[in-house]
């Protein structure tokens, strides 16, 4: 596999233009050959090795469009009052009172199958399903009525012990060769209630909850304990790892992109996935060859770099709406969150993407900043290699 430097070094100064600004929603880190990903990647490598830059750029564009069009549909179901809607909001990085949030309440608020696209990755959709066993959605016809076929996986939520309806639903999902996962919600309430008792042990309490959750003939009854208000605690990271293992590669990458940045491991995986795409962005940028980089023998299409950095900003939740939602949830002022972003390339897209921000002026400033930053980083890199030699 060629690294980024090898890709750039073999590219001629080709001036043809294609897709100068390509913002793709998902990145692929797997070798999954579904939907022809593996074949396209092989064709990219072949074009690069033959020094055929236009063909390489065209195939990279094809790969990115394939990734952009990948969909992931996650069904969230369970009985009324289990906290389904709050869980949907939490996975989308929203509080219950944010614009676009699923409505929540002490009674059943979901009466129809309702899609909630991820705010930054609209091809990833969480579907809030009505409670199983209601008059309109009886247990024996539930899967048919909710449109079983369109979902990639099911998350069955309960705030107490899983019921007979939950187990029957899991068995039927399993019979139809799809994945299901039990999530025990509102764990923070259980911990707070047990904390009042003598000899309180959080570990013992969580173990007891797991053991009591599932009763019935259902294989693989792993239960994930979750608090929708404290996603970083308990088992949500474990659930993410399990989904990552179970989903096919192209779906797995879509999930990773949309997951909230709740722990260092998820952030590390996103970083790794983004780095795996640098060679593709570099090839597209060099193909545009619109702006010479001072002191170097290459030129770049700066608009492609704008697209790449903007994609990184969304992936790590550094866009303005995401930062403001984080501020509302944590109580940390938005200005303080923005102030700790060290890279000027991360801060610039915040202005670029804000409504009414003078986009043309900001884009020009941002492109200039990118070029200066690239030149400086490459100069430092060259000096470092020279001193080591």
pLDDT at 21 over 70: no
CA distance linking residue 363 with residue 10, whole number of Å: 29
Least confident piece of the model among 9-23, 92-106, 226-240: 9-23
For residue 54, give the nearest of 11, 23, 24 by alpha carbon. Answer: 11
pLDDT value of position 29: 40
pLDDT at 114 over 60: yes
Residues 6+ away with beta carbon under 8 Å from 316: 261, 267, 270
pLDDT at 329 over 50: yes
pLDDT at 322 over 50: yes
Of 150 and 338, the one with more pLDDT? 150
- Name the CATH superfamily housing domain 72-260: P-loop containing nucleotide triphosphate hydrolases (3.40.50.300)
Q: How far is CA 54 from CA 2, 20, 45, 126, in A?
A: 18, 13, 13, 38
CA distance from start to end of the chain: 25
pTM above 0.75, yes or no: no
CA distance linking residue 348 with residue 361, whole number of Å: 12
Residue with tokens 């640098």: 278
Q: Is the Cβ–Cβ distance between 221 and 206 less than 8 Å?
A: no
Residues 6+ away with beta carbon under 8 Å from 153: 74, 75, 178, 179, 180, 181, 243, 246, 247
Q: Is the Cβ–Cβ distance between 229 and 171 less than 8 Å?
A: no
What average pLDDT does range 275-297 have in this prediction?
63
Of 139 and 15, the one with more pLDDT? 139
CA distance linking residue 232 with residue 260, whole number of Å: 9
pLDDT in tens, 239-257: 988 998 899 877 888 898 8
Checking phi first, is residue 234 left (phi over 0); if not, alpha (psi -120 to 50) or beta?
Answer: left
Chain length of the chain? 389
Helix (H) / strand (E) containing 116: strand 114-117
pLDDT in tens, 155-193: 999 888 888 888 888 888 988 889 999 999 999 888 888
Of 153 and 274, the one with more pLDDT? 153
pLDDT value of position 346: 54
pLDDT bin (cut points 50, 70, 90) of residue 288 is low
pLDDT at 68 over 90: no
pLDDT bin (cut points 50, 70, 90) of residue 2 is very low
Least confident piece of the model among 2-6, 43-47, 281-285, 289-293: 2-6
pLDDT at 64 over 80: no
pLDDT at 220 over 70: no
If DSSP codes are grouped into helix, strand and coil, which group holds residue 126?
strand
Range(s) within the chain of domains with CATH label 3.40.50.300 = 72-260
CA distance linking residue 315 with residue 355, whole number of Å: 20
Least confident piece of the model among 67-71, 292-296, 312-316: 292-296
Report percent pLDDT > 90 for the chain. 11
pLDDT value of position 107: 57
| Surface-to-core class of residue 387, CB atoms within 10 Å of its CB (0-12 exposed, 13-18 middle, 19+ buried) | exposed
Of 194 and 76, the one with more pLDDT? 76
Residues 6+ away with beta carbon under 8 Å from 19: 61, 284
Instruction: Calculate ∠ Cα 130-225-169, nearest 5°.
Output: 40
């Amino acid at each position: 596999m060629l690294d980024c430097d090898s890709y750039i070094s073999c590219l001629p100064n080709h001036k043809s233009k294609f897709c100068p600004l390509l913002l793709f929603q998902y990145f692929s880190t797997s070798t999954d050959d579904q939907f022809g990903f593996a074949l396209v990647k092989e064709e990219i490598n072949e074009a690069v090795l033959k020094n055929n830059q236009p063909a390489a750029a065209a195939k990279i564009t094809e790969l990115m469009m394939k990734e952009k069009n990948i969909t992931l549909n996650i069904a969230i179901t369970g009985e009324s009052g289990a906290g389904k809607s709050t869980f949907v909001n939490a996975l989308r990085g929203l509080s219950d009172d944010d614009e676009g949030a699923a409505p929540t309440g002490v009674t059943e608020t979901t009466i129809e199958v309702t899609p909630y696209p991820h705010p930054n990755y609209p091809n990833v959709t969480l579907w809030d399903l009505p409670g199983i066993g209601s008059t309109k959605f009886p247990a024996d016809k539930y899967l048919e009525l909710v449109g079983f076929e369109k979902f990639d996986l099911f998350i069955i939520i309960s705030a107490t012990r899983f019921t007979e309806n939950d187990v029957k639903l899991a068995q039927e999902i399993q019979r139809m060769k799809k994945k299901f996962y039990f999530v025990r919600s509102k764990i923070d309430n259980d911990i707070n209630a047990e904390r009042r008792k003598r000899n309180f042990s959080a570990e013992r309490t969580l173990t007891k909850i797991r053991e009591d959750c599932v009763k019935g003939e259902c294989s693989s009854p792993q239960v994930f304990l979750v608090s929708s208000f404290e996603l970083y605690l308990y088992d949500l990271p474990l659930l993410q790892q399990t989904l990552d293992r179970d989903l096919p590669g192209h779906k797995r990458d879509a999930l990773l992109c949309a997951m909230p940045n709740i722990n260092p491991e998820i952030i590390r995986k996103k970083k790794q996935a983004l780095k795996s795409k640098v060679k593709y962005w570099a090839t597209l940028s060099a193909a545009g060859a619109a702006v010479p980089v001072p002191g170097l023998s290459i030129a770049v299409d700066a608009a492609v770099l704008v697209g790449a950095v903007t994609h990184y900003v969304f992936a790590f939740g550094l866009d303005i709406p995401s930062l403001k939602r984080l501020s509302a949830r944590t109580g940390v002022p938005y200005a303080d969150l923005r102030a700790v972003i060290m890279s000027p390339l991360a801060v610039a897209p915040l202005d670029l993407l804000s409504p009414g921000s003078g986009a043309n002026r900001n884009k020009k400033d941002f492109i200039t900043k990118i070029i200066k930053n690239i030149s400086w980083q490459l100069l430092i890199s060259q000096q470092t290699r020279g001193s080591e030699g």
